[in-house]
Amino acid sequence: MRLLLAAALLLSAASYFVYLPLPSGVCEPWKLMLLDALFRSVIQASDVAHSLGLCHHVHLLNRVVSWVEDTEARSCPAVHVSDSTLGGVPARVFRAKGGAELKRGIIYFHGGGWALCSGRMRSYDLLCRKMSEDLDAVVMSVDYRLAPEAVFPDQYHDALAAARDFLSAEVLKRHGIDPERVCVSGDSAGGNLAAAVAQELGSDDSLTTRFKAQALIYPVLQALDFHTSSYQQNQAVPILYRPIMARFWLQYLGADSSLVPLLLANNHSSLDQPAIGADTRSKLNWTSLLPGERRKHYRPLVRDTGSPGLLGELPALMDVRAAPLLAEQRVLGRAPKAYVMTCEFDVLRDDGLMYVKRLQDAGVPVTSDHYEDGFHGCMVFAYRPMVSSVGRRSMNNYIRWLDQNL
């Protein structure tokens, strides 16, 4: 009887920890709850270790991720896999066997808030293998440096160095890549890097080879407004909560996490910030850039007074290399055609949708691929053990777009 009571209590406690009220439209909510419970457990454990001085919380998170996910560079009958470097940055190379002599080329930047994950992770390894095989392509997954050891602009510089080398005649020839069929891509923080690289290299007249396309998967593109309609709607939806995104930004910029409440209150973008002019505000004005069905009933939060010195401490908040949504129209107009994936239940949804509108206004052909039942990070959950239906659909549609546009 006592064992039954203890089991019941444990089950009740586990259910309480796992259960989370989710929007009715989210795909397979119980799977997302289980994923979230796992992530929250690891994050809480890492925060405890950090507070006890045992290790930095990011280091523990990455150790757990590496232990669970990291894989060796193993070739298979369809794809040759090897570890190499691009511009001095580690990269895993996937080259389809057989097929055309000249292949499509894709450089890929993984997500993880500029602090976590790796191209060696099983989920990214499987994604790049599938891309390589299905597209008869060479895919290079870049392992840029991570926070806290590396802070902006280190990750950007790694991504740019790798991309420049990827486009070089020597690398294209060595790997048999068609210079007319090259793409830059990435998800989440990697989508941020891909967008920033596409802007920089799109405006570089010295290049003889240019990207034909950019493919951005739920990209993070700005940090001046943490009260867009999607931040408000999805602030408590896993797996990317609003405070976690603010913490990722501060880690990326090398700032103290104690500033999180100021960012969440939009104190850094108040009207008394002289560095933020009307032109800058117009580039992230979601009330005009988003359609009504995305704005819904939400209202913007623009404070008259905030923390005037905050932008002085964090000037990168205004740097287009960190926040590609703030780029000038002429820069956007020189970027390659784009694919932008967004998910309804994602705090970053509006970042991507605003970027779609700004690219379109600059004359860039854009495909906006929106998932009404999607959540942040869903595409990497396309394989066992945690297969998500929307993960499978989004991955297949992403690869289909590449097939049709590259």
Give which of 142, 160, 124 is closest to 377, Cα–Cα: 124
Residues forming beta bridges with residue 93, ordered by sequence position: 82, 140
* Distance, CA of 282 to CA of 351 (rounded, Å): 13
Rg (Cα) of the chain, in Å, rounded?
A: 21
Show which residues are catalytic. Answer: 188, 346, 376
Map the chain to HEC letters.
CHHHHHHHHHHHHHHHHHCCCCCCCCCCHHHHHHHHHHHHHHHHHHHHHHHCCCCCHHHHHHHHHHHHHECCCCCCCCEEEEEEEECCEEEEEEEECCCCCCEEEEEEECCCCCCCCCCCEHHHHHHHHHHHHHHCEEEEEECCCCCCCCCCCHHHHHHHHHHHHHCCHHHHHHHCEEEEEEEEEEECHHHHHHHHHHHHHHCCCCCCCCCCEEEEECCCCCCCCCCCHHHHHCCCCCCCCHHHHHHHHHHHCCCCHHHHHHHHCCHHHCCCCCCCCHHHHHCCCHHHHCCHHHHCCCCCCCCCCCCCCHHHHCHHHHCCCCCHHHCCHHHHCCCCEEEEEEEEECCCHHHHHHHHHHHHHCCCCEEEEEEEEEECCHHHCCCCCCCCHHHHHHHHHHHHHHHHHC
